[in-house]
Chains A and B, each alone.
Chain A
């Protein structure tokens, strides 16, 4: 009886131990990112790679201290029933001079202002000095579904000037920030009363805004397919900017052919082929505007880099080959239907392009030459795992950190670059400046950590091509499968070889020619007899 008891106890203990062991194992296995980092090789195959970014933290309204808004003791107090969480937030903007974040909290009809650590320092429910949608109680011209925010600093007063795409109020507000919770409207951009605009769209519901260095305002209006709507500094509509092209599909071609034969009535009844509008844009430090198109699987003009004239400067022989987002064959690790919807783009200060894919929740990071650096982040509708999104709406890059704002989980996820990512960025930045040799060291560090990272070999190849070490350059270009660059290295190598051995080659050629002439003469004189392979002894019959 006792022995049996002992046995039972023993079993219990061992079972408990086993259980705790598996539990700890399970915990450790979840310590990494909830997705696999990968990259594409020269053939477009997926190659798993080291993570360039790791999930740092997830910040909710509570961590942003939005509770202050409903706390009467706080100086940020708005009202008792002010929501203390984000709701359907759709844009996040970082102002570099003051190091502040501005968040368009669309669902709660307010703009939030936070410091660098995303702690709340201001909240704007509306603006003063405007007659649109005035709240009778407070006298504020309130926002209604503000979906875009852009901030610049006034050079004279050094106060922030905010531009808000006030979607449902059909206006863009320019307001001067006066205090933590009040801003004075200085200009309203409303629906242009011009035929040009009326032809493009009947409505004016701005979704994103942007200001260039001269104060010209660009507005994305989702019903306008002819590009961004442009306003000058006085609020006058001046035209459209950088329209997408129509994507050539079988249907478009068919219609183009039908149009040749159809009568005018028939043509009138056909649907027009209009390009898809772009969803979002960003401006880099040099004043180039980058746009992304959210339409699913857009292959034409999915991402553009526009010059001030509105032309895509990537639309050259090489630029047409630029690919953004996942490749169709491999896009999908979790869903069966491939679709890629690029929803936001942000250009970091070093020129690195970050593109957010709404559909897969992945962030794609590129250099200016369209070299894919990293892919990170994922979508997950079921669990609230860190690093996964449900409705990723906006992305912002600040230094080594990437911020992604989620409109359904109502939080902000921050990613921080890993050591690997740091080396890659360092090397890529040096490479971008043309300092190929200085990039050798960081590229080597990259290879130490991930031997399958093709871009590193390419960078090394470029460096050695520059120093004149062509053999080494060719070797590296071969590993990274960059045929064009290999070709160049080979050409230089061959030129070098010919130059160095010019005399030897000429001598050998001369000797060969002389030898052939001598042997020929000897054969003709019959002093040497070649074994006859081809001809039998000559004509026998006849």
Chain B
């Protein structure tokens, strides 16, 4: 069997979609640190994609730059995915721990992130007629990531293929529920905050007045 450094394992997993995760799991490898860096890079990729895509391809509304949606679309979505998947699969005989799900999923994102960076880079040097190059790179990265993600979930929980697809579908639904509850929670807390803030203002008026 193989013996790699942590980065070496990452490379191994990415370039061996079939048995990479099996080896990773067998050797009980995978680094949380690297996983977090990957998620951070995903966020940066989103920002780069919006801000640095060549002018002729950039469809973003450049007058306002709001980082919050990008943050939500990358980091928040990722962790919701992890939590939703864990919460669901522990109930359905999944063997994955939350740490492993996080690491394996993050590793699967690397081709997508690399594809994004590359296509953004290329977009600055090509014209619209050659846009196909940019798109090919982007979609190859995306497709590769999808394959890896399915493998990651399959291996981490030791599922069969149909079970994996099913669990992914349910995970997406669970993500929606979690996000909905989060929004609800935030708005509730906001109301609490508004309530407290108004009491505070009221009091300050009393004392001043």
Contacts and interface: CB of A to CB of B under 8 A. Distances in A.
B127 A490 contact: yes
A488 B57 CA distance: 13
Interface in A483-542: 483-484, 486-488, 490-491, 494, 533-536, 538-542
Contacts of A43: 61, 63
19 contacts: A43-B61, A45-B63, A483-B55, A483-B58, A486-B55, A486-B56, A488-B127, A494-B127, A533-B8, A534-B4, A534-B7, A535-B5, A535-B8, A536-B3, A536-B5, A538-B3, A539-B2, A539-B3, A541-B1
B7 A533 contact: yes
B128 interface: yes
A408 interface: no
Contacts of A533: 5, 7-8
Given A43-B61, A486-B56, A534 B127 contact: no
A490 B57 CA distance: 12
Interface in B5-21: 5, 7-8, 11
A491 B131 CA distance: 13
**Interface range on chain B: under 10, 10 to 19, 20 to 34, or 35 or more?**
10 to 19
Given A478-B55, A536-B3, A539-B2, 5 more contacts: A45-B63, A487-B127, A494-B125, A536-B5, A539-B3
Contacts of B129: 491
Contacts of B61: 43
A534 B8 contact: yes
Interface string B35-52: 000000000000000000
Nearest to A45: B63
A498 to B, nearest CB: 11
A483 B131 CA distance: 14
A410 to B, nearest CB: 45
B3 A490 contact: no
Interface string B123-138: 0010111000000000
Contacts of A534: 4-5, 7-8, 11
A490 B55 CA distance: 10
Contacts of A45: 63
Contacts of A491: 127, 129
Interface in B133-158: none
B107 to A, nearest CB: 15
A3 to B, nearest CB: 38
Interface in A460-500: 478, 483-484, 486-488, 490-491, 494
Contacts of A538: 3
Contacts of B128: 484, 487
B122 to A, nearest CB: 13
Interface string A34-65: 00000000010100000000000000000000
A536 B27 CA distance: 15
A392 to B, nearest CB: 34
Contacts of B127: 487-488, 490-491, 494
A487 B56 CA distance: 6
B1 A542 contact: yes
A112 B197 CA distance: 70
A484 B59 CA distance: 12
Contacts of A486: 55-56
Nearest to B56: A487
A483 B3 contact: no
A540 B5 CA distance: 13
B30 to A, nearest CB: 15
Given A483-B56, A486-B56, A491-B127, A541 B11 contact: no
Nearest to A492: B127
A538 B7 CA distance: 14
B5 to A, nearest CB: 5
Interface in A309-353: none
Interface string B20-36: 00000000000000000
Nearest to A538: B3
A34 B61 CA distance: 32
Contacts of A539: 1-3
Nearest to B61: A43
B95 to A, nearest CB: 24
Most buried by A among B3, B8, B125: B3
Contacts of A490: 56, 127
A190 to B, nearest CB: 56
Contacts of B11: 534
Nearest to A487: B56
Closest 6 CB pairs of A and B: A487-B56, A534-B8, A491-B127, A487-B128, A483-B56, A536-B5
Nearest to B2: A539
B24 to A, nearest CB: 15
A497 to B, nearest CB: 11
Interface string B51-82: 00001111001010000000000000000000
A45 B63 CA distance: 11
Contacts of A540: 3
A137 to B, nearest CB: 69
A346 to B, nearest CB: 35
B1 A536 contact: no
A533 B2 CA distance: 15
A444 to B, nearest CB: 23
Interface in A7-54: 43, 45
A42 to B, nearest CB: 10
Most buried by B among A483, A494, A533: A483
Most buried by B among A494, A534, A538: A534
A43 B58 CA distance: 13
A134 to B, nearest CB: 66
A486 B1 CA distance: 55
A487 B129 CA distance: 9
B200 to A, nearest CB: 37
Nearest to B12: A534
A341 B209 CA distance: 56
A509 to B, nearest CB: 15
A20 to B, nearest CB: 40
Contacts of A478: 55
A163 to B, nearest CB: 49
A494 B125 CA distance: 8
